């Protein structure tokens, strides 16, 4: 019998991101995405995996949706929610409809083509509770349905789960909340646990709890009760944690070096060195 090969990750050459479900604190993922786009763009140009609200973050990254548009969408949802007496538990608050409208308005026309074989979304089959990873999308509408299904927590988002090609699916977080492809998958989660990039308990403002879709719902109040400033802080935390990881593994690449197949032996590129010193100044 041969020993299993314990391969070391090759993040610079083959690293790719996976965003976990995180309910509304998925805004953490936005901060992570900003850091990777700026300091390690080669990694964001590869496949991206996601479950639940992490699937939304993945789609935004894959289709290159402007970050300010995403933050505006989350802020609108937060403001709408805060204006209602019972917040997210007010019957007038329909996250499902708000999400569907936001995706329909903002997803680019060819989002399904860009996403096919690049965006991997974790779903749970409603009848058998088996996991299904989906990475091919026949139309823009189908892609939006898959994203909504991946976030569909029964009762909280509605009673009838979305149907894709005749099969009903619910939140991917029930069966695989942190999908991985291989040892080069860089997993990201705003919750405590095993993710590669996650809040640091010593400095984090986020509660130290393990993710379950139920915990994500409990988190709703925590996240929406404070003013939108708190959302910005969670986003900033994601940015800092990601930048720390990029620094630790020396994953920096300017736009030109991002096109190279391997990490340059020596760091002599002026633009890369500028990026590295910019990261130093970001105070991480
Ligand atoms: Zn460079």
Question: Could you report the per-residue pLDDT of 43-83, keeping only the tens digit for each?
Answer: 999 999 999 889 989 999 999 888 777 777 777 777 776 67
Residues comprising the chain, all counted: 284
User: How far does the centroid of ligand 1 lie from the alpha carbon of residue 59, in Å?
Assistant: 27
| pTM for this prediction | 0.88
Buried b (16+ CB within 10 A) or exposed e, 118-149: bbbbbbbbbeeeebbebeebeebeebbbbbbb
- Only one residue has tokens 């953490």, namely 28
**26 contacts: CB under 8 Å, gap ≥ 6:** 19, 52, 53, 54, 56, 57, 190
d(CA 208, CA 227): 21
Low-confidence ranges of the chain (pLDDT < 50): 1, 223, 225
d(CA 26, CA 278): 26
Contact 188, 19 (CB under 8 A): yes
User: How far does the centroid of ligand 1 lie from the alpha carbon of residue 48, in Å?
Assistant: 23
Pair of tokens at residue 224: 């929406």
d(CA 2, CA 7): 14
Contact 210, 193 (CB under 8 A): yes
Residue 41 class from Cβ within 10 Å (0-12 exposed, 13-18 middle, 19+ buried)? Answer: middle
Q: In terms of DSSP bridges, do strands 131-134 and 119-125 run parallel, antiparallel, or are they unpaired?
A: antiparallel
d(CA 19, CA 53): 8
User: How far does the centroid of ligand 1 lie from the alpha carbon of residue 271, in Å?
Assistant: 5
State CA 25 to chain mean position distance.
10
User: How far does the centroid of ligand 1 lie from the alpha carbon of residue 12, in Å?
Assistant: 13
* Rg of the chain taking only CA atoms, in angstroms: 19
User: How far does the centroid of ligand 1 lie from the alpha carbon of residue 152, in Å?
Assistant: 42
Distances (CA, A) of 223 to 35, 60, 205, 271: 22, 21, 11, 38
- CA neighbor of 25 nearest in space, from 197, 234, 192, 217: 234
Can you give the pLDDT at residue 215? 67
User: How far does the centroid of ligand 1 lie from the alpha carbon of residue 279, in Å?
Assistant: 14
Residues with a catalytic annotation lie at: 52, 171
φ, ψ of residue 242 to 5 degrees: the values are: -70, -40
Q: Dihedral of CA 100/102/104/110: which sign?
A: negative
Residue 53 CB neighbour total at 10 angstroms: 28
Can you give the pLDDT at residue 281? 85
Can you give the pLDDT at residue 245? 96
């Amino acid at each position: 019998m041969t020993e299993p090969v314990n391969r070391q990750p090759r993040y610079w050459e083959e690293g790719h991101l996976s965003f976990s479900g995180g309910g509304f604190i998925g805004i953490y993922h936005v901060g992570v995405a900003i850091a990777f786009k700026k300091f390690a763009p080669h990694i964001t140009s590869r496949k991206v995996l996601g479950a639940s609200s992490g699937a939304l973050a993945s789609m935004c990254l894959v289709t290159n949706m402007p970050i300010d548009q995403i933050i505006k969408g989350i802020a609108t949802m937060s403001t709408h929610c805060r204006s209602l007496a019972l917040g997210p538990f007010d019957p007038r608050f329909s996250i499902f409809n708000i999400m569907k409208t936001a995706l329909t308005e903002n997803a680019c026309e060819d989002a399904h083509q860009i996403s096919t074989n690049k965006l991997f979304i974790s779903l749970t089959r409603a009848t058998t509770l088996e996991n299904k990873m989906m990475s091919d999308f026949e139309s823009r509408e189908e892609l939006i349905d898959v994203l909504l299904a991946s976030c569909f927590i029964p009762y909280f988002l509605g009673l009838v789960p979305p149907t894709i090609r005749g099969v009903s699916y619910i939140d991917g977080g029930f069966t695989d909340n942190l999908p991985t492809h291989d040892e080069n998958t860089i997993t990201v989660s705003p919750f405590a646990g095993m993710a590669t990039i996650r809040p640091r308990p010593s400095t984090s403002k986020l509660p130290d709890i393990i993710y379950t879709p139920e915990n994500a719902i409990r988190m709703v109040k925590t996240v929406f009760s404070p003013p939108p400033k708190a959302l910005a802080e969670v986003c900033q935390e994601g940015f800092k944690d990601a930048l720390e990881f990029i620094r630790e593994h020396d994953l920096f690449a300017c736009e030109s070096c991002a096109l190279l197949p391997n990490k340059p032996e020596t760091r002599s590129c002026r633009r890369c060195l500028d990026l590295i010193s910019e990261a130093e100044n970001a105070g991480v």
